[in-house]
Amino acid sequence: MSRSAILALDTAPRDYFSLVVLRSSGEHRQCHFDIAGNGHVESLAPNIEKLLTSENITFDDIERIAVNTGPGSFSGIRAGIATARALSQATDIPLVGISQTELLAISASQHSKRKGTLLVVLNAGAHLFLQAFSQGETIEALASPQSLPHDEASAYCRNFENPLLIGNGAHLLEGFQTFEEFPAPDSLLLATLAARREPADTPVIPVYIRPPDAKLPQQ
């Protein structure tokens, strides 16, 4: 049996999700779905089935399943990972998890002429979620993600020489160069990266920017 396609699920955005089937030839079919009125959970599985059917692909053709591990929409990340894990367990297809911060860093690097440290900064309200990446032949994380108050985030950024800040929280920190003119990463970039990764090296571990707003009632 020859498995030669990758199925990628990007459920990090709040208002939509994207799916893609990427064949080893480079041909692909990508779909974006608005989730207004429907949650990720209700929309995800049936649209995966529709996508595979439209491409005349079965799970016997899928080499690996890639999923965005976040941070992003809490419910979206949870639904995407749960769906990817369920599909993997049912079909024995290996999983590849790639974080939203790495996807942002790679997309920015592909469109920026400036090299050096990239700092992904995501707005989490009272805190900022940050992760630093080096730009070389590959994009490499320089440190684990940090969740810091704004003043501490600014001090943290100064630990890096002349960093370039990207992400929806970059403009909240003064005194740093920012870069915004690059496309948002999506399922196609996710699938392209997954084709080069080993599942054993890319575990699917969710990254949440902050706890969900909804709280369980206290006992």
Read off the pLDDT band of 78 (50, 70, 90).
Answer: very high
* Domain shared by 91 and 122, yes or no: no
Number of domains in the chain: 2
* Domain shared by 13 and 28, yes or no: yes
Q: What are the structure tokens assigned to 127, written together?
A: 């805190």
Q: How far is CA 158 from CA 119, 128, 154, in A?
A: 11, 15, 7
In this prediction, residue 217 carries a pLDDT of 47
Q: What are the structure tokens assigned to 133, written together?
A: 């990446």
Measured in whole angstroms, how far is the alpha carbon of residue 2 from the centre of its chain?
27
* Domain shared by 147 and 164, yes or no: yes
Range of the domain at 64: 5-99+185-201
- Is residue 212 included in any domain, yes or no? no
* Domain shared by 192 and 171, yes or no: no
- Is residue 38 included in any domain, yes or no? yes
- Is residue 82 included in any domain, yes or no? yes
* Domain shared by 86 and 167, yes or no: no
Read off the pLDDT band of 113 (50, 70, 90).
Answer: confident
Measured in whole angstroms, how far is the alpha carbon of residue 110 from the centre of its chain?
16
- Is residue 145 included in any domain, yes or no? yes
* Domain shared by 88 and 13, yes or no: yes
* Domain shared by 10 and 70, yes or no: yes
CATH classification of the domain holding 142: 3.30.420.200
Instruction: Give the residue among 66, 80, 64, 65 at the shortest CA–CA distance from 12.
Output: 80
Say yes or no to pLDDT of 219 above 60.
no
Positive/negative CA dihedral, 178, 184, 190, 191: negative
In this prediction, residue 3 carries a pLDDT of 80
Instruction: Give the residue among 157, 195, 161 at the shortest CA–CA distance from 173.
Output: 157
- Is residue 209 included in any domain, yes or no? no
* Domain shared by 72 and 128, yes or no: no
In this prediction, residue 215 carries a pLDDT of 47
Neighbouring residues of 132: CB distance < 8 A, sequence distance ≥ 6: 117, 118, 119, 120, 141, 142, 143, 160, 163
- Is residue 219 included in any domain, yes or no? no
Phi then psi for residue 190, to 5 deg, are: -60, -45
Q: What is the mean pLDDT of residues 125-153?
A: 94
Task: Note the pTM of the prediction, 2 decimals.
Answer: 0.91
* Domain shared by 173 and 190, yes or no: no
